[in-house]
Amino acid sequence: MNENVEHRVPVLIVGGSLVGLSASLFLSRLGIRHLLVEKHADTSTHPRGRGNNVRTMEVFRAAGAEQLIRDAASVLADNHGILQAKSLTGDDQEWLFKEIDPGGGLARFSPSGWCLCSQNDLEPVLVRRARAEGGELRFSTELLSFEQDPDGVTAVVKDRETGEHTTVRADYLVAADGPRSPIREQLRIGQTGPGDLFHNVSITFRSRQLASVVGDRRFIVCYLTNPEADGALLPVDNEEHWVFHAPWQPDRGETLEDFTDERCAAHIRKAVGDRGLDVEITGKAPWHAAERVAERYGAGRVFLAGDSAHEMSPTGAFGSNTGIQDAHNLAWKLAAVLNGTAGPALLETYEAERLPVARATSARASARSGEHSHPGFAGSPGPVGGGRKGGMLTVALGYRYVRGAVLGTDPDLPVVPEGMELRGEPGTRAPHLWVGRDGKRVSTLDLYERSFVLLFDAGHPEWRAAATRVAERLALRLDVFAIGSGPGADLEPLGGADWAAAHGTGAEGAVLVRPDAFVAWRSEGAAADAEATLHEALTALLRRG
């Protein structure tokens, strides 16, 4: 049956893994109708892509999914460190780090924290949340073709179960179709970077005895370095389900068929250091670590996100996190253009902002593999493309947009600074402060999702009046919050915090924050004409020229 059905949506998302599903959730939250198509019949069943960094958890918090994800990940809630050992039974062992957030210092920067949730547990949460918010998701549906014109994209998709073809007409297409992206290939967008770094076979197995060998060592991953049987061991439930990443050398003629159950079990026993260990192989999946970044983040009305735009070494879990944050950046911009708040040129800032982040982050991920001597990685420890610059938290949370939908930035500054500097500077993620709102304790980050937000001191109500008039003139939603105490305040800083100092302004200034929680603009002091100043800033930011 090849009956052709017409379907019209503002956005078509191709790819239903972590990044595509995240894009669906974010667009749903912003009220943007869309269709997501995924060729596979269901979400991932293989435990992988488990590290969700603090910035990713912040965006899921804004989308109402953070606690659901933590619930899905509860079995690994106490796993924190990375262990390196010649075996689990010998004395040659070293914690590369034992805690993700030693001393709890992260709480100064964020209301969220890191979360260890495997892709096979996270994806179903995103599916449920996206559908609950109105997203249309179709699995067993593949993209057959697409073409674009000045007014939109026309795609043909096929239901792999019924054979039915559907012609989809969309304003925009989001390509979250993976590292071999056919969409990127059709757009003839090249890639830069070293290319393949190493290859592994991910082996799932069951072992009841391994938990007693591991004992109380609650690691995220253990790099086992026996030169005769190296690999990476990852717990799935800390009890009987595990994953082992074994090095694979296809360039030496090694094939996947060479990884028999017997060979894999023997390799795992030798790596662990227990030749009598019970090992039942339950699955195998090849994967390739690479460092590649697309030369462009899209063409015309088609945008790349996630692995279609960048591939990264898995060490540090930067790849999926960067992709989810791609989707978050793109979603609010698509929403603003589609609902008439912004001009189409706003979408050009997606590449201007996210491409430099991908380049800096991919270099850091490769450097991390060298530092950790990741099994199979032949690179030397040390700087890779300048990748060592900035610690893990700085790369994950402290990156900044020096160009794009921001005003007052220094384009010569590095994308990843030397240290954490979340002080309200335009282009950086807005500072986190606990404030009282309607009798409840909330983070300032909880204010940002559906619109631009203006923060100002309650003692200077001229900013509220200006914002109200500008919002009316531009016909857009602009949320306004006066911070302080007394009848004119919407938010009260808790714990004696000085909101103005934290945001780099004086008491007479104001800060404009984007829906994705990045500072768009700020006035460090009073404005001679607050309305004209704010109108000029928003007009420029939204490309309303």
Amino acid letter at 281?
I
Which CATH number is 255's domain given?
A: 3.30.9.10
Written as six digits, the tokens of 495 are 């714990």
pLDDT one-digit tens code per residue, 172-186: 999 999 999 999 999
Q: Indicate whether 385 and 532 sit together in one domain.
A: no
Residue 468: inside a domain: yes
Length of the chain, please? 545
pLDDT at 515 over 80: yes
Q: Indicate whether 275 and 229 sit together in one domain.
A: yes
Across 20-71, the runs of DSSP E, i.e. the strands, are 34-38, 51-52
pLDDT at 382 over 70: no
Which CATH number is 526's domain given?
A: 3.40.30.120
pLDDT at 377 over 70: no
Judge whether 347 and 296 are in contact, CB under 8 Å: no
Q: How far apart are CA 36 and CA 46, in angstroms?
A: 21
Q: Which of 397, 424, 448 is the last residue of a domain?
A: 397
Q: Which of 241, 257, 290 is the last residue of a domain?
A: 290
Q: Please, which pLDDT band fits residue 376 given cuts at 50, 70 and 90?
A: low
Kindly write down the DSSP assignment for every residue of 101-115, as one continuous string. SGGGGGGGT-S---E
Least confident of 187-196, 221-230, 334-343, 376-385: 376-385
pLDDT at 471 over 60: yes
pLDDT at 386 over 60: no
Q: What is the pLDDT of residue 380?
A: 39
| Span 421-445, average pLDDT | 96
Q: Indicate whether 200 and 143 sit together in one domain.
A: no
Least confident of 56-65, 94-103, 371-380: 371-380
Q: Indicate whether 16 and 163 sit together in one domain.
A: yes
Residue 230: inside a domain: yes
Q: How far apart are CA 62 and CA 79, in angstroms?
A: 25
For the chain, give the mean pLDDT. 92
Residue 137: inside a domain: yes
Q: How far apart are CA 67 and CA 60, in angstroms?
A: 9
| Span 98-126, average pLDDT | 89
For residue 360, give the H/E element and its range: helix 348-371
Q: What is the pLDDT of residue 112?
A: 96
Q: Indicate whether 135 and 181 sit together in one domain.
A: yes
| Span 398-414, average pLDDT | 96
Q: How far apart are CA 58 and CA 429, in angstroms?
A: 11
- Which of 75-79, 82-86, 446-450 is the most confident on average? 446-450
Q: Which of 290, 316, 350 is the last residue of a domain?
A: 290
Q: How far apart are CA 51 and CA 314, in angstroms?
A: 10
pLDDT at 514 over 60: yes
Angle at 365 between CA 243 and CA 99, to 5 degrees: 65
Q: Indicate whether 250 and 326 sit together in one domain.
A: no
CA dihedral 67, 68, 72, 78 (to 10 degrees): 0
Q: What is the pLDDT of residue 99?
A: 82
Q: Indicate whether 156 and 55 sit together in one domain.
A: yes
Which CATH number is 312's domain given?
A: 3.50.50.60
pLDDT at 171 over 90: yes
| Span 483-500, average pLDDT | 93
- In three-state secondary structure terms, 517 is coil
Residue 98: inside a domain: no
pLDDT at 2 over 70: no
Residue 30: inside a domain: yes
Q: Please, which pLDDT band fits residue 371 given cuts at 50, 70 and 90?
A: low
Q: Indicate whether 11 and 150 sit together in one domain.
A: yes
Q: Indicate whether 48 and 33 sit together in one domain.
A: yes
Q: Indicate whether 286 and 299 sit together in one domain.
A: no
Residue 97: inside a domain: no
Domain extent for 457: 434-541
| pTM recorded for the entire structure | 0.93
Q: How close are the terminal C-alpha atoms of the chain, in Å?
A: 49
Q: What is the pLDDT of residue 507?
A: 93
Q: How far apart are CA 425 and CA 432, in angstroms?
A: 13
The number of distinct structural domains making up the chain is 3
Q: Indicate whether 517 and 504 sit together in one domain.
A: yes
Q: Indicate whether 61 and 141 sit together in one domain.
A: yes
Q: How far apart are CA 170 and CA 152, in angstroms?
A: 6
Residue 519: inside a domain: yes
Q: What is the pLDDT of residue 174?
A: 98
| Span 509-525, average pLDDT | 98
Residue 427: inside a domain: no
Q: What is the pLDDT of residue 351?
A: 98
Written as six digits, the tokens of 94 are 């070293």
Task: Please give the backbone phi and psi of residue 181, each rounded to the nearest 5 degrees, phi first.
Answer: -25, 105
Q: What is the pLDDT of residue 140?
A: 98
Q: What is the pLDDT of residue 387?
A: 37
- Burial readout 6-21 (b: 16 or more C-beta within 10 A, e: otherwise): eeebbbbbbbbbbbbb
